[in-house]
Amino acid sequence: MRSMRCRRLRIALLVLALPLVAGACAAPVGAVRVDAQVVQRELTGNVLNTGELSRSTRNVLFFHGLSERFDEDPEAALDTMRKNIVAGLTGRDVFPAAAELSFFHAEASGKRSYYLAAAVYAWIFLFPDGGASLPDPLDPRLRMAADLYNRGIALGLASPDKTVMEMRAGTHELPWGELDVAFDKDRLRWAGRDLIDFVPIAELKVSGLQVRIRRPGIGAALAAGMVPITEDQQVRDIIAPRIKVSATALLRIDDARKQLEGSRMRATLDLYPESETETVVIAGRTVPLEQEPTAALAWGLQESPVWERELKGFFGSVFQVGAKNQLVSLTPPRFGQIPVVFVHGTASSAGRWAEMINVLQADPAIRDHYDFWAFSYNSGSPIAYSAMILRDALTNAVRLLDPEGKDPGLKQMVVVGHSQGGLLTKMMAVHTGSRLYDAAFKTPIDQLNVSEETRDLVRKALFVEPLPFVKRVIFISTPHRGSFLAARDFVRSLLQRLVSTPARLVKGTAELLANREAFAAQGGNRLPTAVDNMSPRNPFVKTLSVIPIDPGVDAHSIIAVKGDGPVETGDDGVVKYESAHIEGVKSELVVRWEHSVQSQPEAIMEVRRILLQNVGAK
C-alpha cells in the first residue's frame, strides 16, 4: 500500500513538473516568418497612421524605464521625461518620442495642451538650437516629427468646437506652463481680401478627383475662405463664390530647447497663402511648407453652388434656377499672370474642369505663369447668345482688373472649351462679318421691324470680331460641324419643349418672331436652342464651321474617339471625328476615350504641354 502511495506521489509530481520542463525547452527569443507588410507596419507605424506608438518611441520608453509608468500614469511619465531633458540626462532621440507620447496622450485625454507639447518637442528635434547636428534625412522619425508638429499646432490652436484652426494671438496652456503666441492680424489680409475659416486639410478626405497633390513640408496645411475687404473690392471681385485657397500655418518657436527649461514659452504664428511662397527659412535653413492644393480645391467645390448649374443650367427656368451667367477666378488674379479660361459643355458645369485644374496647378511652371478662370452659362440658350455673354464677361473682366491696360498677362488670354463650350470659344477668335446673320435672316438688319434694343442684341450676337486679348484657344471634343445626337429629331423635339428662353431674350424673341418674313428659312414659333444650333443641318453651325480662326490666334484640338477602330470614321459617342477635326490648328491630339475626355491624363498633359509651350517653358 505504501509503495502504491509513493508511486502515485511520483506521478503527481511528474505531472506538475511537465509545464516547467516544456517551458524550459521552448526558446525564450525567436522569430517567425510572416507577411512582410506586417513587419513593415511594425517598423514604420506610429500614432498618426495606426493609433499606436511607434517602435522607436516604445524603445525610448524602455531605455528610460518608463514603459509601465506611461501605461499607468502617462502625465507623470511625460513630466519625468521633460525633467530629464532639462537636466541634460537624455539624448536627442528623446524628442521625437516625447512628441509622439504627448500626441498619443492628447488623443486619449482630449487635453489640447499635450497637442502643443507634441509640437514643441517635434520642433526641437527638427530644428535643434545652437548649430546642433541635424537629423539624418533617412531617419523615419524626421517625417513623423514633421507630421506631429503639423497636426499638433492645428489641434492645439483649434477653435473650441474644433472645426477650424484659430489664427490669432493668445496664451495657451502647456503641461508644464503656458505658451504665449504672437500673431500679426495683417497676415490675414491677402490680395485685397481677408482670409477666414481655416479648415485643417489633414481632416479632409477627397473624393471625385483621381489625383491628390501633396507637397510635404512643415506647417499645418489649411483650406481658407476669402472675403473682400472693401465694397470697392467686392464690386471688382471675380473670385468664385465660396472657393477655398490653400494656405499654411507655421508656429515659430525660437530657442525652443532653451525655453523648455522655463514654465513660460513664446512663439510666433505665421500664415502663408499658397501662391505667396512655398518655402520659409528656419534656423538658417530653407524648408518647404506643407501644402495640399487638391484638398483645398475639393473643399471649395464641395461648398460651391457650381454643381447645381449642370442640368438645371441647361433647362433654365424649367427648374427655376436663378444662377446667373458667371465668369469667376479660382484665385485672386495676379498682375502679369495669363488667364486660362475654361468653358464647359452642354448640361455641364465649371466643376467638370476640377481634375484638369488640380493637375495643372501642381506644376510650378504653370503656377508661375497662369491664373485659372471658369465661365458658367445656361447651356440651353442659343450658342451665339451664350458666346456674346462670354465675350462681354471677358471684356468686362479685363477692363475691371486692368483699367489702364498695363497688365501684360491679360493681353495673352487662353480659352479652353469642351463640346458646346468649344463653339463658344471659337467665337472669341473669329471675324464673322455678316455671315452668321445672313444664315439666319434674309432682310438686312437695319430693316428689321424691331426695337433698337433688340437690333443691338442681334448685332452683338451675330456680328463678331476676335477679342484682341485672346491669343490661344484649345478645342476639346468640339462639334465644329455639329453633333449626330443633336441631329435626331426626337431629341431636339423633346428638348425644344423643355428648354426655356433666357429672360433677356424674351422681348427680343417676340419682336423677331413678328418678322417671320425676314428669316432666311421657314421657322416655327420660337428661337433655336443650343441643341438646334448643334444639329449638323443647322445653318448656324454650318456657317460657323467654315469661318477660319483669326491668324493672330493659335488654335489646338483635342479629339476623343472611342474604341480602336479607324480614327477618321470614329466618334466619342456624341461627336464624330470628322466634325471635331478642323484645318489650320497648330496641333491635334486624338485620345481614345469618350466625349467627356477633359479629365483624362492624355488630355490634361496635352493642355499642359500647350500652356508650357505658350510661355517658352519645358
Count the neighbouring beta carbons within 10 Å of the beta carbon of residue 143.
15
- Same domain, yes or no: 373 and 267: no
What is the rounded CA–CA span in Å between residue 51 and residue 108? Answer: 10
H and E: helices and strands count for the chain: 24, 16
Within a domain: 376: yes
Note the pLDDT of residue 60. 95
- Same domain, yes or no: 94 and 225: yes
Domain endpoint, select from 236, 264, 295: 295
- Same domain, yes or no: 91 and 217: yes
Task: For the chain, report the end-to-end CA distance as a whole number of angstroms.
Answer: 102
- Same domain, yes or no: 400 and 543: yes
Q: Which residues pair with 273 in a beta bridge?
A: 247
Type and span of the H or E element at 452:
helix 452-462
Residue 197, all three cell numbers: 475659416
Count the neighbouring beta carbons within 10 Å of the beta carbon of residue 577.
17
Note the pLDDT of residue 531. 83
Fill in the DSSP letter of residue 441: B
Task: List the one residue out of 384, 306, 290, 375 whose CA is nearest residue 340.
Answer: 375
Task: List the one residue out of 98, 91, 129, 94 whose CA is nearest residue 116.
Answer: 98
Note the pLDDT of residue 486. 65
Note the pLDDT of residue 502. 65
Within a domain: 18: no
Note the pLDDT of residue 374. 92
What is the rounded CA–CA span in Å between residue 402 and residue 418? Answer: 28
What is the rounded CA–CA span in Å between residue 584 and residue 556? Answer: 9
Task: List the one residue out of 578, 598, 602, 570 whose CA is nearest residue 589.
Answer: 602
Residues in the chain: 618
The boundaries of the domain holding residue 336 are 313-486+528-614
- Same domain, yes or no: 275 and 359: no
Count the neighbouring beta carbons within 10 Å of the beta carbon of residue 55.
14
Within a domain: 556: yes
Residue 245, all three cell numbers: 485657397
What is the rounded CA–CA span in Å between residue 187 and residue 358? Answer: 26
What is the rounded CA–CA span in Å between residue 277 and residue 270? Answer: 12
What is the rounded CA–CA span in Å between residue 590 and residue 476? Answer: 10
**Rounded to the nearest 5°, which phi and psi values hold at 267?**
-150, 160
Q: Grid cell 467686392 — which residue?
A: 234
Count the neighbouring beta carbons within 10 Å of the beta carbon of residue 285.
11
Note the pLDDT of residue 12. 57
- Same domain, yes or no: 291 and 333: no
Within a domain: 37: no
- 195, 226 contact by CB (below 8 A): yes
Amino acid at 233: Q
Fill in the DSSP letter of residue 501: P
Domain endpoint, select from 239, 263, 295: 295
Within a domain: 355: yes
- Same domain, yes or no: 282 and 321: no
Residue 575, all three cell numbers: 461627336
- Tens of pLDDT along 173-204? 999 999 999 999 999 998 878 999 999 999 99
CA 166 to chain centre: 22
Q: Which residues of the chain have pLDDT under 70?
A: 1-27, 131, 230-237, 303-325, 486-507, 522-526, 618
Q: Exposed (0-12), middle (13-18) or buried (19+): which is 68, by Cβ within 10 Å?
A: exposed
Amino acid at 605: M
For residue 420, the domain's CATH number is: 3.40.50.1820
Residue 32, all three cell numbers: 517567425
Domain endpoint, select from 269, 295, 321: 295
Note the pLDDT of residue 193. 86
The pairs formed by 71-79 with CB atoms below 8 angstroms and a separation of 24 or more are: 74/101, 74/104, 74/105, 74/108, 74/109, 75/105, 75/175, 77/101, 78/102, 78/105, 78/114, 78/117, 78/175, 79/175, 79/176
Distances (CA, A) of 370 to 300, 331, 338, 380, 564: 20, 10, 5, 30, 35
- Same domain, yes or no: 228 and 337: no
Residue 369, all three cell numbers: 505663369
Within a domain: 27: no
Fill in the DSSP letter of residue 562: -
* Total number of domains in the chain: 2
- Same domain, yes or no: 103 and 229: yes
- Same domain, yes or no: 466 and 572: yes
Q: Which residues, at least 6 apart from 526, have a Cβ–Cβ distance to it below 8 Å?
A: 496, 501, 509, 513
The DSSP code sequence of 9-32 is HHHHHHHHHHHHHHHHHS-SS---
Within a domain: 510: no
- Same domain, yes or no: 286 and 349: no
- Same domain, yes or no: 287 and 324: no
Within a domain: 520: no
